[in-house]
Structures are given as C-alpha cells and as structure tokens.
Amino acid sequence: MNGGLLVARTLERHGVRFLFTLCGGHISPILVESKRLGLEVVDVRHEATAVFAADAVARLSGVPGVAAVTAGPGATNTITAVKNAQLAQSPLVLLGGATATVLDGRGSLQDIDQLALFRPHVKWLASARRVRDLVPALEEAFRVAASGVPGPVFLECPVDLLYDESVVREWYRTGSDGGSWRRRLQRLYLDLHLRRLFAGADGAGDAAEPPPPAAVREARRRQVARAAALLERAERPVLLVGSQATLEAARVERTAAAVERLGLPTYLSGMARGLLGRRHELHRRHQRRKALKESDLVILAGVPCDFRLDYGRQFGRTTRLVGANRSRRDLRLNRRPDLGILADPGRFLVALAEAVPPNGERWSEWHRVLRSRDEAREREIDSGAAEEGDGVNPLRLFRELD
C-alpha cells in the first residue's frame, strides 16, 4: 500500500475516467497506480493543457475533472487554466506534488509556497501531512468542487506520502547506527517523523463508500409560483440560458425539454449553446440586445449581468427581471432582479415548466417579430458571403463549413 494507490482508488470511486498530467517525479505513484486501476492517464505537453482538458471533461460529463502536476513549475504553469475553471464555475480537482514533508521550506527541489499561490483562485485547498490524510482530504476536495457553485480545488500531496514506505525510509536513511550525539538525535527525530507519517496508512480508505451525489439547491415553491405569475402576465418575454443551467450533465435533456415546454423566445450563451439543437424554432440567434430592450420580462437562467449584458444596462427601464443562479453574488451582480432565486437554474426551469400550462401561442406575434429579425440578419450574412474580393471571404468560408 502506498499513497499513490490510495489516491488512485479514490479517483476510481468518484467515477473519474481520465487523469490529465505532465509526468513528474513528485507525482509518479499517482500516475502509475491510476493506470493499474484502468484510468486513462493522458500525458500532455504543458500543465495548463492538463487543467484545460480536465475542465472540459467536467463540463461534458458532470464529474469533476482531475489533473495531477508536479511541484514548483508544474503547479505554477496551471494558474491560467485554474482561473479559467474558477470563472467558468467548472468542478475540477488539481493534485499537486510537493517536496518531502521534512524538507518543506528548506530549499529542496522545486519547493515553493504553492498554497499561497493557489489561494485566490480556488474554492478550497489543503496540504496532506500524513498518508492516512490523503483519502479524507481528497474526498473533501471532490465534495467542495461539485457542491454549491462548482469550481476548482487544490490538494497538495507531498512526495513522501505517495511512495512505498520502504522507499521513503531509504530516502531518510534512518537505519544506520553510530555517529555523534547530534546525528543520533537527528535520526531519532526522523524516525519519529516517519512513524507519524505512516501511522494508520494500512487501513486508510478501507471503509470508504461510494460518494453521495453533490447537494443541489432547489427553487422554493413560492418562488416558482411568483415566476409563473409574472410569466402569465408577460406579453414579450425572453429566456436567456447560460452555462450554469447545464452543470448537471445527466439532467441536460430535462432542462431542454423544460425550455421547449415553456415556449419562450430563447437565447443561449456559454456552455448552454447547442441545448436546443441545430434549428429549433424557439432558438433566436441575432439582435439579442434589441430583444432584451423591448421585452417586458427577462428570465436569466444561470446568466450574470456582466459585460456580456452591458452590466445590466441591456434591459428596458420597465423590464421585469427574474434571475436564477447558484451564486448569490452573480444573482445580484450589477442589477438586482425583481425576483432572485438562489438555486440551480436548470432545476428552476424544470419546476417553472411544470408550474405553467403550455402557452407559447400567446406570444406568436412576439415570436414572429424576433424570427423575422433573425431571417433578415441571415440574409445579410448570405449577401456578405457572396461578395467577391482578394483572398478568402471569411463569411463564405464559414458558410461552407456550416
């Protein structure tokens, strides 16, 4: 038993299929044991790529993506990708190698303060200090990454926690006798340190069970009823769906069905693009700003009022705003909604669709106006694609690709 195997078993128990990495000595036992258990270990050319790939797997599967990188430059190389996962609210577990516990802060190979580096960019971070701490720390990492507003977490795994005990003892060279009293005292200290390091390691993770699904906050019935009442009175409603509505990959089809049942003109953004398929009659693509300005009710499902909505200024003065978001901060960012619902936006849409009867026909004229604008814009693009000139016409290129 070694720490690398404990980590690999925990990854397997959480349904992880891919481990992205750039191979390094500090983390080799994790990679070796993961491969033995059947996980696909993908070795990339830059640590940022490993984290970007883990982020992509998380968005597509709903299971937190996992990357493992070596200490020092291996960890620092990930920062851009980690920050991207934080802003995208992607559940991601980053495992970082580190120097041996007894050498921490003493100038060993690639020894830097990694926790200080990652603290502003992750939801949670920790450094395991004993072999038996690896499993509970990794369990907590998965829980935090996927719960509430998802995001990246960082777990530092010192190298002497990952290798076989016999190998680590050889590094520490505690078996020789003799020497000065200082040498004997040093060996005594190292021996005590090793005992603490490996105490309880043999049974670590034995009682671990499959993890429960991450808790997801649901909209309250009273809030859903209020949203339904606002929708019943609306004449020009618009639905804007963002990435958060697709965080639960296993429920995306239910979310799409709910959007279809609601029958609202729908704009898709972020990871919600493609939610309704290629040519769905509800999906509007062009002149979103104008539609939001003219609408009397806008439902923001997992969309913050950031620069993409001109910090909340794209809505008309009399537009009623309903927002559903997992993040309290994003829910109120720049413009406070008339009805703010702190809950998963995908589940909110399902609940709202169940609370109102299908009434898309009520908004047939509003649909016609927005559809005609889309068609007019498509004709403009076609006209531009037909223009002749020097070099490649980019509109024609992408029309052909389409």
pLDDT band at 360 (very low <50, low <70, confident <90, very high): low
On the question of pLDDT at 72 being above 70, the answer is yes
Q: What is the mean pLDDT of residues 231-237?
A: 95
| Per-residue pLDDT at 107 | 72
pLDDT band at 179 (very low <50, low <70, confident <90, very high): low
pLDDT tens digits along 288-307: 999 999 999 999 999 999 99
For residue 212, give both structure tokens: 């429960």
| Per-residue pLDDT at 180 | 78
On the question of pLDDT at 189 being above 70, the answer is yes
> Cα 384 to the chain's mean position, in Å?
38
On the question of pLDDT at 174 being above 70, the answer is no
Q: What is the mean pLDDT of residues 135-152?
A: 95
What does pTM read for this prediction? 0.89
On the question of pLDDT at 129 being above 70, the answer is yes
